[in-house]
Structure 1
Amino acid sequence: MRMVFRWFGDNNDHVSLDQIKQIPGAEGIVWALHDMPAGEEWPMDKINQVKEQAEAYGLNIDVVESVNVHEDIKLGLPTRDRYIENYKRTIEKLSKVGVKVICYNFMPVFDWLRTDLAKKLEDGSTALFYEGSKIHDIDPLDLVKTIAEDSTRTMPGWEPERLADLTELFEAYKNVTTEDLWSNLSYFLEEIIPVAEQHDIKMAIHPDDPPWPIFGLPRIMINKENIERFLKLVDNPYNGLTLCSGSLGSNRENDVADMVRSFSDRIHFAHIRNVRIYDNGDFIETSHRTQDGSVDIYDIVKAYHESEFTGYARPDHGRHIWGEECRPGYGLYDRALGIMYLWGIWDTLERQKKEK
């Protein structure tokens, strides 16, 4: 297992490369050009700039998260081919600086959705929270209209300047079915995977978060059955997974450790985090510790160890602790604690293996 740590760049992250370097076992950053609009070709000078920044601290840039997929590709519009060609050229450029994995997702409109970015836990820390009653059976266009009229009623990520775009996107997806989305994903993969293989970069799709339809939008990367279908769309080792225990684990029916054991040869990137699921299906993110949530993090790490996983892993969303002011879910302290918990499990398993 190769531990990496997500970094949003000098201008977008309060966590410094010097701090990341001090986390035991962290050998690289998970990065992206966050100022680049989805669908645009990444410029080589900006890519090289990140490489130089990371290497100054002895960190690799092997994993990119994310090269975002333009909505026209997900919608299957005629304009998608132009954006796919940009994506191919970006893959080629990233290969020149040693990138080995590209994480991406195929979620319509939202990468992820929460209803509260700082819900208080019993210990006084705060964390990302999902409250289903604020999402279920609500017409998103009505919600956009309400937020536009009353700025005190909002949703995380629904900034006023985004409302016009959200209205257009929801309208565009009105007649897009789940099968349409599968077809559009297959088209994308058939174009992209040969290029990724040519340049020795593994493509790793991230599951939907949360793993069920929201606002009537189709979602497909939600369970083991659908992951099996996805891997068969283009049955190539370069077509793989970013397996996120928190995204998939927020549905009690998903056995994430079983997925690790079933798909280990196609998991190129592991996101490991915990969530606590309430009786009504709401969930809140917790520390990485198994006992603090509903996801068996110990068994998940054990599954990776049994599979002799040599891919990349990172602690995922953490709580906001010790008064840290940070990007929601991406503080330094709790994610660093998460790494040490994961290493503790891994090192124990290594010792047990050697003593047998």
Structure 2
Amino acid sequence: MRETWRWFGEFDPITLPQVRQTGAQGIVSALHAIPYGEVWPRTAIAARKAEIEAAGLTWDVVESLPVHEDIKRGIGDLDLLFAAYCESLKNLAAEGITTVCYNFMPILDWTRTDLAAPVAGGGTCLSFSATQMAAFEVHMLGRAAARADYDAKTLADAQAWFEASTAQDQTTLLETIMAGLPGAVDTYDLDGLRAVLETYSGLTHNDLRTNLKRFLQEVIPTATSLGVNLCIHPDDPPRDILGLPRIVSTQDDIAWILNAVDAPANGLTLCTGSLGAHADNDIPAIAKAFGDRVHFVHLRNVTKSADGSFAESAHLNGDVDMVAVIDELLEVESRLGRSLPFRADHGHALLDDLGRDVQPGYTLIGRLRGLAELRGIIAALS
């Protein structure tokens, strides 16, 4: 397995020389400043690649080449958007970059309710509280149908949280839920979020599946001709959020997507943390079932609760059997004769991380610890 590290380019306070010291060989990056739906110019791709290679690293994976919201909604000038996406794939392939991660989550990328939850022994982690999410949806956002998405105890706890919260608590919760990746990603206040949610009004799971299938039918032939592998990222968390449908949350979802356009270029980013937050997902079984179509791997762990809450644990200490997952992936590598790029996904904020202004979850020391632990598992199993 090939060690990679996610790096946010000009938005990242962690430098490439620092990444080099972690022992990772490859970089996972994107052109975050380019607005969604626009073509990534080959000159910009080449410049980012040259910057990475000058530090003694390689640009192994694009994460992410974003899918425009109109494609997810199935509206607007879709032919123009599909053409732009395919042109970006052509420009990436021309520079030798052939693994492209993307997601199909409406509006929000990953969602958390706390970016600095205390960890036993010191440090902080990202976490998701069903109680706080319910308080946000029901009492702050005022989404009419939200009560049907939570059980009675969660709703009662949410009301208690809201009644005890200060204005600053509520502002912090909104900012946390809106926390996204840098560059072209939008953030919203409550009115803005209500307005953008309205643009998805009436969109069902089947509608979103239909729109994803059309996207795949449009771009996978181009990807195949270029030797590019697309790999969809699972929903994070793997559940409907804000009334928005999520369609990449379970093993059945993944099977549907891979069968929708049955081609090797239509693949999966196996994210053990995202999938691991769903009570019904068996991650080693998913790795075994779809190993031939896994093109990229995110290794992180979570400790989950019955109400759907979860916290990001240390890489070896959560509910996901990381040893079993890696064992399955090594078997895939041996059978197919290829090396899978993986990265230690997210990490606790530890030691000097606590004073460093990094993207949430993308710490230096916490990810270094995770990478070292994962490296040990791989070495032992190998």
- TM-score, L = length of structure 2: 0.86
Q: Which residue of 2 aligns with 1:68?
A: 66
CA distance in 2, matches of 1:266, 1:55: 28
Q: Which residue of 2 aligns with 1:5?
A: 5
Q: Which residue of 1 aligns with 2:323?
A: 298
How far did 1:6 drift?
Answer: 0.2
* Higher alpha-carbon deviation: 35-44 or 109-118: 35-44
Partner residue of 1:158 out of 169, 178, 183: 178
CA distance in 1, matches of 2:247, 2:113: 21
CA distance in 1, matches of 2:137, 2:77: 28
Q: Which residue of 1 aligns with 2:150?
A: none
How far did 1:44 drift?
Answer: 2.4
Q: Which residue of 2 aligns with 1:354?
A: none
Structure 1 counterpart of 2:21, which letter? Q
SS at match of 1:307: helix
Tell me if structure 2 keeps the 8 A contact 1:136–1:214: no
> Where does structure 2 lack aligned partners over 5 or more consecutive residues?
144-161, 180-185
Tell me if structure 2 keeps the 8 A contact 1:140–1:215: no
Structure 2 counterpart of 1:303, which letter? E
SS at match of 2:351: coil
SS at match of 2:320: coil
The question of 1:89 aligning with 2:106 is answered no
SS at match of 2:39: coil
Select the structure that is richer in helix.
2
Tell me if structure 2 keeps the 8 A contact 1:109–1:166: no
How far did 1:286 drift?
Answer: 1.5
* Cα distance change of structure 1 residues 91 and 144 upon mapping to structure 2, 3 Å threshold: farther
Query: What do residues 50-105 of structure 1 show as CA deviations (whole Å, max 9, x unaligned)?
Result: 11111112211120000110000000003222211111110010111111200000
Q: Which residue of 2 aligns with 1:327?
A: 359
CA distance in 2, matches of 1:62, 1:126: 29
How far did 1:161 drift?
Answer: 6.1
How far did 1:14 drift?
Answer: 1.6
Equivalent pairs, count: 344
Aligned-residue Cα RMSD (Å) equals: 2.1
Structure 1 counterpart of 2:252, which letter? E
Query: What do residues 107-149 of structure 1 show as CA deviations (whole Å, max 9, x unaligned)?
Result: 0111110001101111111010100012238647951899xxx
CA distance in 1, matches of 2:16, 2:243: 40
The question of 1:253 aligning with 2:280 is answered yes
SS at match of 1:72: helix
What pairs up with 1:257-276 in 2 under 5 angstroms? 257-276=284-303
- TM-score, L = length of structure 1: 0.92
* Cα distance change of structure 1 residues 125 and 144 upon mapping to structure 2, 3 Å threshold: farther
* Cα distance change of structure 1 residues 339 and 152 upon mapping to structure 2, 3 Å threshold: closer
CA distance in 2, matches of 1:161, 1:312: 30
Tell me if structure 2 keeps the 8 A contact 1:44–1:93: yes
How far did 1:158 drift?
Answer: 3.0
What pairs up with 1:1-356 in 2 under 5 angstroms? 1-9=1-9, 11-24=10-23, 26-136=24-134, 139=137, 143=141, 152-154=169-171, 155=174, 156-158=176-178, 162-163=188-189, 165-289=192-316, 292-308=317-333, 310-324=339-353, 325=356, 326-350=358-382
How far did 1:185 drift?
Answer: 0.2
* Higher alpha-carbon deviation: 251-260 or 43-52: 43-52
Identity between Structure 1 and Structure 2 (%): 40
CA distance in 2, matches of 1:311, 1:348: 17
Query: What do residues 187-208 of structure 1 show as CA deviations (whole Å, max 9, x unaligned)?
Result: 0000000111111110000000
